[in-house]
Amino acid sequence: MLSKSQISLLRSLQNKKERKEQGLFLVEGYKSVVEFINSTYQIEAVYHTDSFDPKMLKLSQKINLYNISVTDIEKISSLKTPQEVIALVKIPLYPALNNAKLKQKFSLVLDGIQDPGNMGTIIRTADWFGITDIICSEDTVDAYNPKVVQASMGSLSRINMHYANIITLLPQIGLPVFGAMLNGDNIYQTNFGTEGLIVMGNEGNGMRPAVEQLINKAITIPRTGKAESLNVGIATALFCSEISRNSYNKVGSK
């Protein structure tokens, strides 16, 4: 049984300010918990109900396991239908980014993405296409928000999430900067090369003018229908897919 103070702490992690102060977040559900256990993330504790067999986690390291009541699981969960297992995970501290860390690969840059579902989709998409680093503006939704963690379906465990002032950071990195914009070169006719940063803007307003000034090459997904706009998660997937296709073509032509 959890104490009132333990429940209070775990419940408080639904709040961004508390997550930042405590350096902790929650992961809910068997599949996602296993993904984090098998990652480089540090697991502080795992809470489970009587109906869950902790042997299913196949632990190869010592992790604090707590068998708690369904009532307590319901109190600390952010879900309407709580899962049987929840992990308390430490938020990693990544070293400052530079050219050497991002060279010879592509990374995503998110400017003001607000919707947790979109963020979760972007993280899963990055993971699918082998993108390991996502750089976020300081006003982008917190990657450790419970809704983002849930929507990422465990992919967050394999992505390095960086939050920074991207207006000052991007010029320092010194890589080609591609921007998803309404007026730009056709994505299907673009040679992305072998490295760069792909900037995706806010769902409603696009990227800020100051960020637009940093774009080396504006890229557009051509519209052939009548929809007003594309969801940013879908647009990101198309960019990742096209970059991946470019890479395969280069390998095949050697």
End-to-end CA distance of the chain: 62
Whether 51 and 172 share a structural domain = no
CB 73 within 8 A of CB 114: no
For the chain, how many structural domains are there in total? 2
| Distance (Å, whole) CA 254 – CA 250 | 7
| Distance (Å, whole) CA 75 – CA 236 | 35
Whether 85 and 187 share a structural domain = no
**pLDDT of 254 above 50:** no
Whether 248 and 169 share a structural domain = yes
210, with CB counted inside 10 A (0-12, 13-18, 19+), is exposed
Whether 78 and 157 share a structural domain = no
- Predicted confidence (pLDDT) per residue in 108-148, tens digit: 999 999 999 999 999 999 999 999 999 999 999 999 999 99
| Distance (Å, whole) CA 176 – CA 215 | 8
CB 221 within 8 A of CB 230: yes
- Residue 112's domain comprises 99-252
Q: Which residue, 199, 157, 197, 160, is CA-closest to 175?
A: 197
Q: What is the pLDDT at residue 251?
A: 55
Whether 71 and 106 share a structural domain = no
- Predicted confidence (pLDDT) per residue in 115-125, tens digit: 999 999 999 99
- Predicted confidence (pLDDT) per residue in 177-234, tens digit: 999 999 999 999 999 999 999 999 999 999 999 999 999 999 999 999 999 889 999 9
Q: Which of 55, 90, 125 is the last residue of a domain?
A: 90
